[in-house]
Structure 1
């Protein structure tokens, strides 16, 4: 298992710098290529919503303003990438040129963001997201990468992280989603100095699943401690984050959306809580 291509969808916001720095630290650790993806909206898609009474000149002005706004945002992303990569001594990959790792690439693609991200995620090993404008990490683009493209995602919240994965906590509930997250995280786990398996539940929590995971990881040369945590009636997501933060973890590994996205959105759930409250990097897979 290896990480050779890391995709980072960015929109030209101030917090892009922190996300880029975290993603580049992961890219350098694995000697991978970091591909920064900027998706510009297609202004013609808004035409049906303008109505018949809008003059051609107004339409042209609106489309021109949209193009200029996208150009400016794209320029901010590319400038940030160029500076951060240059400061780190990581080269910009040239199309058709010699493959160098680690390296960075910049893509500017027109289309619907979730569709573009999903398409480019399918042949990526890891997709890195920041918090987004809604306070929920990654927005619909994260769901597109994880659910539609079936790829693991890394939430990079609040600040720059380097390293990512020196100390790892695994939120383990014996689900298929958690298993997918663990296998996706093997490159991190193999390099980690400390790995803790957190099983959150009631007082009579079965130690068996945690031990089974520890046995599996041992085959990969990873020694992990198993901690059984009594949630005492509290939400599992809240307890999981609290335990990971208390252990000074710099990577939490967990399954995403064991329940439906609609159920999580309406009544809450572990995934939704983590996406809204994560203060440390989180690797999720579905």
Structure 2
């Protein structure tokens, strides 16, 4: 498989289910699993006793929790009998993205589960470090069991560089899928936008790789694009959504408006994003 090293970012308040999702995925891919257990340290308080003591006590408790989650993850990996390594980081928010960047450089795929996705500070650090800085694809796992085999893929397409990068990062998955639905929302047939036949160019590109392609041109009907994508994923029985993310890194211009942020927070199936 294309993904030989999977980096799973685990929050210090993760449950066993999220750890299991990471180990199951690594096992299915036959990949080495690097686990990074992280937490953001609370800033020091300004004041005298007992406030300062309470802050120190909180750090001690946070570190205990962090180590406990790392120990739990180690046990799961040993039980799964997969190759793995584990690191722990308890640091300020401003340093976390750089830590993730340094680790993501040596991974083919970065993975997060629903517990971490629900923590905005942590998921934003992952996006900054892994997607923007390291340029690695990010797989967002939903609650529930990820499919053992990806049969149907929804490729969200808007003829931008980010969508092209996502398609290339996922090309082996797309090749092995039974069908890939190139999905355009409110396509524009202008030459400088989606072309005279929206979706035809990317369909031809994918077909040369042996991908079985279906082009779906969908009207939004005034609905948010993320809702259209989620609905269409359900209609076609998609096992995976592949999409580009953000046009400009620090301004975070979002593909299809707010769809990236919406799918970061919640999606019915796994989502692979790249920039």
Q: Is this a same-fold pair by TM over 0.5?
A: yes
Please tell me whether the aligned partners of residues 170 and 197 of structure 1 are also in contact (alpha carbons under 8 angstroms): yes
What runs of 5+ residues in structure 2 fail to find an aligned partner? none
Displacement of 1:133? 5.5
Displacement of 1:105? 2.5
Tell me the SS of whatever aligns to 1:246. helix
Please tell me whether the aligned partners of residues 238 and 273 of structure 1 are also in contact (alpha carbons under 8 angstroms): no
Identify the match of residue 108 of structure 1 among 78, 85, 88. 88
1:36 match: 35
Please tell me whether the aligned partners of residues 156 and 184 of structure 2 are also in contact (alpha carbons under 8 angstroms): yes
Tell me the SS of whatever aligns to 1:208. coil
1:11 match: 11
Displacement of 1:11? 1.9
- In the alignment, does 2:130 pair up with 1:141? no
Please tell me whether the aligned partners of residues 37 and 66 of structure 2 are also in contact (alpha carbons under 8 angstroms): no
1:96 match: none
Tell me the SS of whatever aligns to 1:169. strand
The 1-side partners of 2:54 and 2:180 are apart by 59
Q: TM-score, normalised by structure 1?
A: 0.79
Identify the match of residue 254 of structure 1 among 230, 236, 243. 243
Identify the match of residue 140 of structure 2 among 155, 163, 180. 155
The 2-side partners of 1:180 and 1:213 are apart by 12
Identify the match of residue 109 of structure 2 among 126, 151, 154. 126
Consecutive aligned runs of 4 or more in structure 1 exceeding 6 Å deviation: 55-59
Tell me the SS of whatever aligns to 2:199. helix
The 2-side partners of 1:235 and 1:259 are apart by 21
Identify the match of residue 227 of structure 1 among 210, 216, 220. 216
Once the two structures are superposed, residues 87-112 of structure 1 have per-residue CA deviations (whole angstroms, 9 ceiling, x without a partner) of xxx33xxxxxxxxxxx3332234544
The 2-side partners of 1:107 and 1:246 are apart by 40
Tell me the SS of whatever aligns to 2:125. helix
Q: TM-score, normalised by structure 2?
A: 0.82
Identify the match of residue 278 of structure 1 among 260, 267, 272. 267
Please tell me whether the aligned partners of residues 11 and 116 of structure 2 are also in contact (alpha carbons under 8 angstroms): no
What runs of 5+ residues in structure 1 fail to find an aligned partner? 92-102
1:208 match: 197
Displacement of 1:278? 0.5
The 1-side partners of 2:26 and 2:137 are apart by 15
The 2-side partners of 1:57 and 1:199 are apart by 56
Please tell me whether the aligned partners of residues 25 and 162 of structure 1 are also in contact (alpha carbons under 8 angstroms): no
RMSD across aligned positions (CA): 3.0
The 1-side partners of 2:53 and 2:20 are apart by 42
Please tell me whether the aligned partners of residues 121 and 127 of structure 1 are also in contact (alpha carbons under 8 angstroms): yes
Please tell me whether the aligned partners of residues 132 and 249 of structure 2 are also in contact (alpha carbons under 8 angstroms): no
My pick for the range that moved more, 31-40 or 204-213, is 204-213
Once the two structures are superposed, residues 118-161 of structure 1 have per-residue CA deviations (whole angstroms, 9 ceiling, x without a partner) of 21112211101112356368621331211122111000011121
Please tell me whether the aligned partners of residues 164 and 281 of structure 1 are also in contact (alpha carbons under 8 angstroms): no
Identify the match of residue 71 of structure 1 among 53, 67, 71. 67
